[in-house]
Every structure is written in structure tokens, then in C-alpha cells.
Structure 1
Amino acid sequence: MLKKVYNIIFIVLFMAIISLPLIKANWKSGVVSEDENRYLTDTPKLIENGRFNPDFTSDVESWFKDNMGFRKYLIDTNARLQYEVFGRMLNKSNYYIGRHGDFIYATDAMIADYAHLNLRSDERVAQIGQSYQTISDWLGDKGIKFYNVQCWDKHSIYPEQFMASVNQIGDTSKTDQVVNYIKNNTTVNEISLKEMLLDKKKSYEVYSHYGDPTHWTERGAYFGYQYIMEKINEDNHNMYNILSEDDYDITVEDKGITLNGFIHEKDMMETFAIRNPKAVKADKSLMGEFGEDERHSIWINKDAGNDTRLLLMCDSYINSFIVEDFAESFSEVWLVWGDYTKDLDKVIELFNPDIVIYECAERVDRSDAVVEFADKIK
């Protein structure tokens, strides 16, 4: 008799346990999963558009996987165990834990970059390098100075922090190939920030341990701005003001990012704020069609001490960190995203700059656009 009671209790408890995920399921439509940044599957319909839904069974399965009760708790618990116990990152397919615990961002293409598995042929390297020469000469004929700036991803400055499971072949990447060719075989003003950052990392964090792994720190960005400006001043009799550390209010705060909603490692980093900025943002209507892109901007500085107009054709390494710094050094600055490389001639016609800085992050391969534009202007 007692055994029968135990069996009944067991069955009741078992049914309750397996029913809870359904009882606590989400029955609302249009719900967004914040962790996954997507809509969850809506409640399935047996009758759809007046007819029997032939996919009802598979729709129910998809709905249950997305909406079962305690789903978020189970996902978070699994992610926490994977991170704390095994040092793995879940739900963020391009985020990894480096060999010394650093947060690493790496797409498949970036892993190939690090491992040197995607080197270019000598012919392709020469084609890209000579395309930069063509662009530099074309701008030079218009009286415009051209500087090609190469920014680098974290794995090139801190290779020792990358995942131990990825081996590096040789010491030359596909970006190194192009930079070296330009330096040795062209007259292009090539500004590669790699050696400078490798030197600065001995004393400073130029990329963070647990902060945004896709960009440099504000300290690293300041060094980048300073280095680029020094190179420009070498060609222009030191005529441009370069901000010093005394021109900033420098504070320290936690810049560690949060992944999976709970993975957070404190990372106390510097924040640079220009103390007395002279440059102001201006109306983008002068940019014509290019003013419609919210990433673009115009900066005017009546106290720059020069009448030089600078075009920054770049990406987030400059746009998110040091465009305001450049604006303190020149009378007018236009920032246009590198996605518009093929339209550089149109931008030049609108703005008529004195200097063009063309900047790319290592992971942003715009070589096809550079070659295409060079062919266009030949």
C-alpha cells in the first residue's frame, strides 16, 4: 500500500515537473529576447488562412524551444557554467576567452588574419599597392596631400592574448604584405600604427583586457591621434597644433563590457575629454547626398590657427574615438565613412580638402574598392 502511495506521489511530482516549462511558457506574440537580440517564435496556429497548417507540428516544436518556461534561466546557467568552469563564451559566436583570460573578438576572417592563412599573391599585393599610388598621385595633381593610415586589431598588438587553440604561421599577415609593399615600392605617405602601439603597450593598455575588444582604448586612440599628427607635421613645418595630455580631463572608470547579460570583469580604464574644445559640429547640408549618412559629420574650428581643410575617410577607430581631436587641429574637418571609397571623387569635388586621411581597421578589407576606384580615375 505504501509503495503504491509512493508511486502515485512520484507520478504526480514527475508530471508537475515536466508540465512546469509549459505552464510557465511565454504565450505572448512579438516578444524580443534581449540576450539574443531577436524575436521569439510566435504561438503556432492550427488553422492558418482558413486552412489546416501542415507545418503545425514543427511550428509547435520551434515555439516550445523558444518560449518554454525557465528558458532564460537555463540558458544563463549554462553560459555561466561554461564561462566559470571551462572558460568558454556562449551566445556570442564571435567572442572568445583568450589564453590569459582576455575578452577576444574574432570572426572567422579575423582568425584567418591572425593565423596568416589568407595571404595574398605577390601580384595582388602589387595591384593593391599601386592602386594606392594612383590615388595618391591623382590627389597630388589637385594639390591635396594623401595619408594612408593603417589601424590594427587587438590580435596584432596583443598576439599573446589570442586563443591558444589557434596557431600562427610565419610572422607576416595579409595586411603586413600591403603595408610593407607601399612603404618599399611607392611614394605614398603610409602611416602604420603597429610598431608605435607595440612600443606603447609596454607601459600602457592600448587595448583593454575586458573592455571593447574590437577597438583600442582611449589611451591607445590618443597615441594614434598624436602619431598621425606628428607625421603630418613633419611634412608641413609643424604648422598644426597637436593636443597634449594637459588639454584633456583624464578620468578613470570601469570600461569592462558585459556579455551574456552577466559576464562582467572590471577593467578600470582612462577616459579622455577635451578640456576646452574649440571645434563645433556644423550642418551637414553641405555634404549633399553624403550628409544623409548619420555616421558622417562636419566640424568647424575658427580658432585652429590655419585654414586647412581635412577629409577623414575612415571607420570607427577614428569616428568613435578621435574625430574631435582632429577637429581641434584643423579649420574644417569632414568625416566620411570608408564605405564610400568608390565615391571619393564626388566627396573631393564637394569639399576640396587640403589633406586626405584614408584609414582602415585591419579587419576592414577595402582593397577591392581601392583597386576599383584607382581604375576609375586612371
Structure 2
Amino acid sequence: MSGSFPMNGGDGIYSYTKNSEYQREALNTVKEMIDMAIAEKLDVKHLTSASRSIHLADLGCSVGPNTFIAMQNVIAAMEKKYYAQSLPSEKLEFQAFFNDHISNDFNTLFASLPVDRQYFGVGVPGSFHDRLFPSLSLHFVHSSYALHWLSKVPKKLLDKNSPTWNKGKIHYTGASDEVMKAYAAQFESDMENFLDARAKEIVVGGMMVLTIQSLPDDVDQSKTPSGVMFKFVEAGLMDMVNAGIIDEPQVDMFNLPIYSVSTKEMTRLIESNGSFSIEKIELTDSSLKDGPINAQAVIMHVRAGMEEVIVKHFGRDIVDELFERVSKKCMEDIHLLESSNMKAQLFIVLKRI
């Protein structure tokens, strides 16, 4: 279980394109904060002193439409700052790089590029845990709801003779401290690689804005929306084991490559890297604002994000039945989602020093 874990491609009923409203709400939640960060912290005049071409990158872009919304929001904020500084009236040119793993559905991504876009679009396949761009070539980097995906499942989880053997579970939610520490160590290694790569690629004075699935300090993972959903999926798989549909060792060897970082952890990792100043780091509310939770919409959202990981391990034949079982559990215990800690989204503004 290493490599890429793409969202569902295409534009079908279970696609990420049709089921990413929660990620879109995350963008809406932080839009004003991104606008403010650009207005107050980004020196567009300095960035455009040599050329009026601005290079942006969205890391973990998936298939849209959220990535297009994010890029347009950033461009609008940068143009506003540019003209507010009374700079020459020549129009800025923007090049937007859309990055995701090579298995991402880039065909759907580029087939749905906005016709009226104000940038030149470029696809950049590859892992954002490695270098993707030439040195000092980027002015602004954005990533939303992507960095919680690990580069791989920690190897220790698959060792039956290790205290990190995660028998009967699919995540560190509800697991032993040793399992949680293995996840944390993998995230730390991945983030070190990510920050090192971006430090080489972003120009001095450039900005990076990250929105990450997070774990509030002193809150158990099982009390967050993602933790609740992971337990529903785990219970669905174990029900299928008891029904003889899948084998228990298959579940024992399956672990979701997802980690929710705390504010303290993320601050420590950024400061340890030493290449960025923390301009803002804040927990925000990740919930949809309009009315009670729609269990079916939640299941569609989870399926769009997790189906390919499940298929990679169990095969495609079990998917429909699994999510029927998960859906039933979600509707029966919707109160667990409604009472979960929704302030589980970490917003970070970094500046290259």
C-alpha cells in the first residue's frame, strides 16, 4: 500500500467532481483569510520586479472544480494587491500549475478547464512529497485537503510480530499508542520532504497557503468527523468478514494512509525546517453551514475519496456492498457525526525567507 491514492475520476455519480462539496466549503471558509494574507503579507511589487509573469501551483489538485475556484480566487487577490500598489497598468500574466499523482484523472481535469480562465494552465504529474519544479520558479503555492494523505502506509503496521500490528483496525483511530506513533512518524518524514522541496522551488518572499485536515489539540481522533467515518468503514468491513464475504487477514493488512496533524505538531515541523516564516496558523470550522448533516451526501463524499484505496486492496467487487453497510451505520448513528468536533481544519500561511 504505497504510491498514489487518487480520488474517483470522471464525472459519474461517485466521482470526486460530483462529490467534493465539503472540500469546496473548506475553500470558502478560508477565502477571506487568503485574500488578507496576500493583501498584507505578499509583496507583489517585488515578485514582479523582473517579470510580470506570476507562477502559481495547486498541489493535490484532483479533478476539479475546486482547484479552478482556488486558483481564480488567488489570482483575483493578487491582481487587487498589484493595482493597489499603483504599479504599471500592464496586465499581469499568470501560469497555473495543477499537480497530482500520475494516476490522477488529468483528462477530466483539463476537459473541464474554465473557458474564461485568466491563466495559462499546465499539468504537473508527480508526488508533492518530492521536487516538482525548477529552483526558485514559484511565487505562490496552494494546497487544500491533500497533505493529510501519507506517501505510504507505515511499514510497521504490517508486521505481525510488532506492537504496531494493527489487527482488526484500518486506521489509528481507536488503535494503540504505538500505531498512532507510527502514523505520526510517517507524516513527519513526509512533511520534512514536502517542506524541503518547496523551500527549493519557491522564490524568497513567495507564499505558501495550506489547508489541512487537522486534529485539534487535546481532542481524540475518534471525536472528529473523519475519525467517526473511519470507524463506520472499519465496522462495515468487519461485518463483511463475519458474513464470510472477505477474509479477516485482508482487513488486518489494510490501513488508511491518512493522518490528521495537530497545530503543535505542524508548528514544530515548520520551525524545524527553518525555510519559512509562519504568518498565520489557525484552526477553522470544516463543517457545511446550511442545516443538519445529510448522511447520504457524507457517504458519497467518503466514497469519492476512499474508493480507489479500497479497490486497490480488496478489489472492486466489494465496494457497493461495503458502502451500503457504511451508509446504514451512518444513518443509524448520525448523532456521532453531529456531535463531532468540527473545528478540525488547519489553515496555514507560510512565507519563504
Band the TM-score falls in, shorter-chain normalisation: under 0.3
TM-score (norm. length: structure 2) = 0.25
Larger Rg: 1
